Amino acid sequence: MRPAASILLLTTATGFGFGLLAWLGAYAALGLLPPEAPALLIAGIALALILASVGLLASVFHLERKERAWRAFTQWRSSWLSREGVAAVLIYPLAIALGVAFLRDAQSLWTRLLGAATLVGSLGTVYCTAMIYASLKPVRQWHNAHTAPDYLLYALFSGAVLFAALRTAALGAAGPMASVAALMAALACFAKCAYWRHIDRQGPLATLASAIGLPKGTAKALDAPHFSENYILRQMGFVIARRHAARLRRLALGVGFALPLVLEVLAGLPVVPLTSTLLALGCAAVGLLIERWLFFGEATHVAALYYGRPV
């Protein structure tokens, strides 16, 4: 599948945003946010919403008819994309209400309830995003049990890294978030490896023979309907070279997960906590973009079978 910049930005930026919001919500729900630093929460919410907005805006740029984007909110009953939109929009008042409640009384029941709702809403939105891909049966690398949990995990990981940096910037120390972020990095890394192992071992979704209705035979493509690349091939015929993919995988693991893990451990010790958390944040951002690029670039669409391409 063609990795479109707008979608890479959408999924990673909203991952950071909703991930951060999820942690803020969790902290608020558990009453763990230091009431003496309301700025942390307010800044966190603001930053999360900005990131979410950047992501959502990027996704609008992916649309061919942006002026009709509002229509995307209508089909929440069947469409994960519509649900993502609705959920994302609902988060904004929720998060703002959380901020207001927190300013009034950091430990009130409202604050806790709104925190819990924000946590659920944020993760729910991420889940919707994940399900857009996980529900696409023609793409075996997406339509599997890994996609949704992985998206949640990456959101939590990126949110944790961001929160750790934010907390360090606000309070001088990451506190438990450094350890949480390090743990999330380890889990995300593990999940990614498990995912790659899964897709590498997965058989093809279908054979060319079954694609042309002769499942008992074998088939080889002779002539395609056209010589120039068409829309289907540009979108769904994108194939990344195996060697190139392996290099990118190593890069994603190293930069995206291993370095942040080390840096968060350093921050937790604490060794230059601000620098470490900020570096971790940068690494995570770059690594996750690479990871996301691979998520698309390594995905194959069964329609490409018709052109004799591997799926």
Q: Interface with another protein by CB under 8 A: which residues?
A: 1, 62-66, 68-69, 71-75, 77-82, 85, 132, 135-139, 205-206, 208-232, 235-236, 301-304, 306-307
CB 227 → another protein: shortest distance, Å?
5
245 CA to centre of own chain: 19
At its nearest, how many Å lie between another protein and the CB of residue 183?
34
CB 51 within 8 Å of CB 20 = yes
165 in Cβ contact with 281 (< 8 Å): yes
* Shortest Cβ 214–another protein spacing (Å): 6
Nearest approach, Cβ of residue 148 and another protein (Å): 16
> Quick check: 285 and 16 in contact, CB under 8 A?
yes
Q: Which is nearer to another protein, 201 or 220 (CB)?
A: 220
Rank residues 66 and 244 by Cβ distance to another protein and give the closer one: 66
Q: CA Rg, the chain, in Å?
A: 21
Residues with Cβ within 8 Å of residue 7, at least 6 apart in sequence: 58, 59, 62, 296
Phi, psi angles (nearest 5°) of residue 217: -105, -170
Say which residues have a Cβ less than 8 Å from residue 42's Cβ, sequence separation at least 6: 99, 102, 103
* Smallest separation (angstroms) from another protein to the CB of 307: 8
Q: What are the tokens at 39? A: 């700025």
Q: Which is nearer to another protein, 91 or 267 (CB)?
A: 91
Residue 1 vs 280, nearer CB to another protein: 1
129/277 with CB nearer another protein: 129
